Structure 1
Amino acid sequence: METPFSQSWHWQAIDPSRNVARAYDLWIETDLFGWTTIERRWGRIGSKGKAVTTSYPDRATADVIAQQIRTRRESAIQRIGVRYRAVG
């Protein structure tokens, strides 16, 4: 069984002139059964938003997926015209 692990990232994309106020949260954690879960939440700041949780049998696979998600957040400037900024 893998050692319990937990890591999180939080981003916001805000541009009042374009009426953009988005939030994106990403968590990687080891569950009670030893699987690594990735939980993502996104939506307009102040709204309920959407959430998806996926499980992976090992941390290496989850780390690859999490890196792909982080890379996607970095490309927001080309897609939505506003850059995501890390929050606390």
Structure 2
Amino acid sequence: MASAEPQDFHVWLEAVSPERNIARRYAISLSRDLFGACLVEVSWGRIGRRGQARTLSFSERPDAERFVRQLQRRRMSARRRIGVPYREIRAAGRDLATCQG
């Protein structure tokens, strides 16, 4: 039986330019916790290093999806900001554009 709940969403991005000494990674995950809140987990940093992480909780899935789309838009502007575009390494789950909360 299929669930009406949208699937979790995970995406891993990298921006690499050896000549500019840029090796960045960025990961975004959207899931639900045991209490039904939507969690957005974000981690970033230099490839091969520990980096940083942040987890935010949203009571409504549309709010969480809106936040994830804002993060994605920011990553897609990397070429203009840092001179190297992020490229998608892995993705799992449903595209946020098709998620219904």
Which category describes the TM-score, using the shorter chain as reference length? over 0.9
Q: Aligned partners of 1:82, 1:26: CA distance in 2, in Å?
A: 19
Q: Which runs of 5+ in 1 are unaligned?
A: none
Structure 1 ranges of 4+ moved more than 2 A: 2-5
Number of residue pairs the alignment of both structures matches: 87
Alignment correspondent of 1:58: 60
Higher relative contact order by CA 8 Å / sep ≥ 6: 1 or 2? 2
Name the aligned partner's letter for residue 43 of structure 1. G
> SS at 1:65's partner residue?
helix
* RMSD (Å), alpha carbons: 1.3
User: How big is each residue's C-alpha offset from its partner over 1:45-66, in whole Å with a ceiling of 9 and x where there is no partner?
Assistant: 0000000000000100000000
Q: TM-score by structure 2 length?
A: 0.82
> SS at 2:45's partner residue?
strand
User: How big is each residue's C-alpha offset from its partner over 1:15-68, in whole Å with a ceiling of 9 and x where there is no partner?
Assistant: 000010000000000100000000000000000000000000010000000000
> SS at 1:62's partner residue?
helix
Identity score, percent: 40
Q: Aligned partners of 1:11, 1:53: CA distance in 2, in Å?
A: 17
Q: Which runs of 5+ in 2 are unaligned?
A: 91-101
Q: Aligned partners of 2:83, 2:7: CA distance in 1, in Å?
A: 34
> What is the aligned counterpart of 2:21 among 19, 22, 28?
19
